[in-house]
Amino acid sequence: MRTAVALVTILVLLQAAPAWAASAKHAPAFHHDTTPLPSGVTHSSGGSSGATGVSSTSGTVARTIVGLAIVLAVVYGLYWLLKSTAKSRASQSDERIAVVATTTLAPNRALHLVRSGDELILIGATEQSVTPIRVYSAEEARAMDIQLAAAAQLAQTPGPQAGPTGVIEALRRRTAR
């Protein structure tokens, strides 16, 4: 909707531009041209002067519609280009670092479990800071992945569950003293 309003505004300004240019302060003064025209131009053979006015009006309307179509095509082309660029950037994400899990503790406070290479890092994040809480080595991360896979498999099977499952619960069990 905003694009349509902007396009209509641009078209109105383009139509009004010749009138503004003629009324500019530094424009040369108008003088009447008295050069005689050839007789073939002044005495038309069978045509009326009213038809010339109609054709010029329809030409202006056609030119405006074609101009609008060109502007809309350019806007759509830019939209498509920006959208495809954003998709390509998203697909080129670096998979060496990934957020495994996030838990919100309070407003503007969260715990993030981040995988960096073979290690897992538990990070506390607030508005003012990001603090690493614990770094799990590659061996600990593999052991935790096995436990998490088992917990996920238990969560998928129907029936009563033995205890709380999930990434944060597994971390609590491993870090609680």
Q: Which range (33-37, 116-120, 165-169) has the least confidence?
A: 165-169
> Quick one: pLDDT at residue 124?
93
Q: Measured between alpha carbons, how far is 139 from 27 in angstroms, rounded to an integer?
A: 82
> Quick one: pLDDT at residue 53?
47
pLDDT for residue 34 is more than 80: yes
Query: In one letter, which amino acid is 164?
Result: P
Edge-to-edge strands, sheet with 97-106: 97-106, 109-116, 119-125, 130-136
Model confidence band, residue 26 (pLDDT cutoffs 50, 70, 90): low
